[in-house]
Amino acid sequence: MKTDDAAPGLRWSRVLLKVSGEALMGSRAFGIDQGVLDRIAGEIAEAVRLGARVGVVVGGGNFVRGAKIAAEGGDRVAGDHMGMLATVMNCLALKAALTRIDVPSVVLSALVVPAICETFTQRAAIENIDAGRVVLFAGGTGNPFFTTDSGAALRAAELGCDALLKGTSVDGIYSADPKTDPDAVRYDRLTHQEVLARGLAVMDAAAIALARDNAIPVIVFSIKEPGAFVDVLQGNGRSTVVTG
């Protein structure tokens, strides 16, 4: 499924935004910084006002990571299930922030938790995004051993998105971590295959391969920079664009 041409003024109009759980922490060591959450909600609202259709996948690393639990000797499957529940909490918080500014949204979870949100189906996701609601995808893929990056690429493919936008702590893809390597080289453009071949750790390999196989551009930008999400949607700002 392919979408219509982009809304006027937007380079991409049907997008999947991936936000890490860590981004929601702000300067805190754990949990959610309400100011950061409200800013991100406001930027999503601005994108919607400009005509974008927006889906959002939020990670759970601000609460728990299954891989970290496994590395410390815990059970990986249980840890991943805990991480999926953390993404549900983050999506509920983001929905509340969007509701406060009168932006209609819905949480669809790959985990079945009907007491607090709806269960994901592709049909429900498409119906809601076509109706102009922000669709918040919780629970990752619903399976252990898959990251929320993979979940983001999967949902982008299922929605027929024009682009997958990954908000990170840096302004694009680098050859190494620019926080620790002053000689790291920043890339403006790459292909999916170059990201895989060079082992650039911006997303896991499964996510990049899924985006490649479905011809979905991946745009990496800094979610910490106020206004960057809308700037990137408009074809401005600083980012790395990954295409076929």
What is the chain's pLDDT, residue by residue, as a tens digit (244 residues)? 444 456 788 999 999 999 999 999 998 989 999 999 999 999 999 999 999 999 999 999 999 887 788 888 999 999 999 999 999 999 999 999 999 999 999 999 999 999 999 999 999 999 999 999 999 999 999 999 999 999 999 999 999 999 999 999 999 999 999 989 999 999 999 999 999 999 998 999 999 999 999 999 999 999 999 999 999 999 999 999 999 8
Which of 228, 169, 218, 221 minimizes the C-alpha distance to 47?
228
Please give the mean pLDDT across all residues of the chain. Answer: 94
3.40.47.10, 3.40.1160.10, 3.30.2130.30, 2.60.120.460: CATH of 14-243 = 3.40.1160.10
Helix spans in the chain (H)? 34-49, 66-71, 76-100, 122-130, 148-159, 192-197, 205-213, 228-233
User: Domain map of the chain by residue range?
Assistant: 14-243
pLDDT tens column, 4-45: 456 788 999 999 999 999 999 998 989 999 999 999 999 999
DSSP 101-165: TT--EEEEESS--TTTSEEP-HHHHHHHHHTTPEEEEESTTSSTT--HHHHHHHHHHHHT-SEEE
pTM greater than the 0.75 cutoff: yes
Which of 54, 57, 115, 109 minimizes the C-alpha distance to 85?
109
Separation of alpha carbons 144 and 183, rounded Å: 36
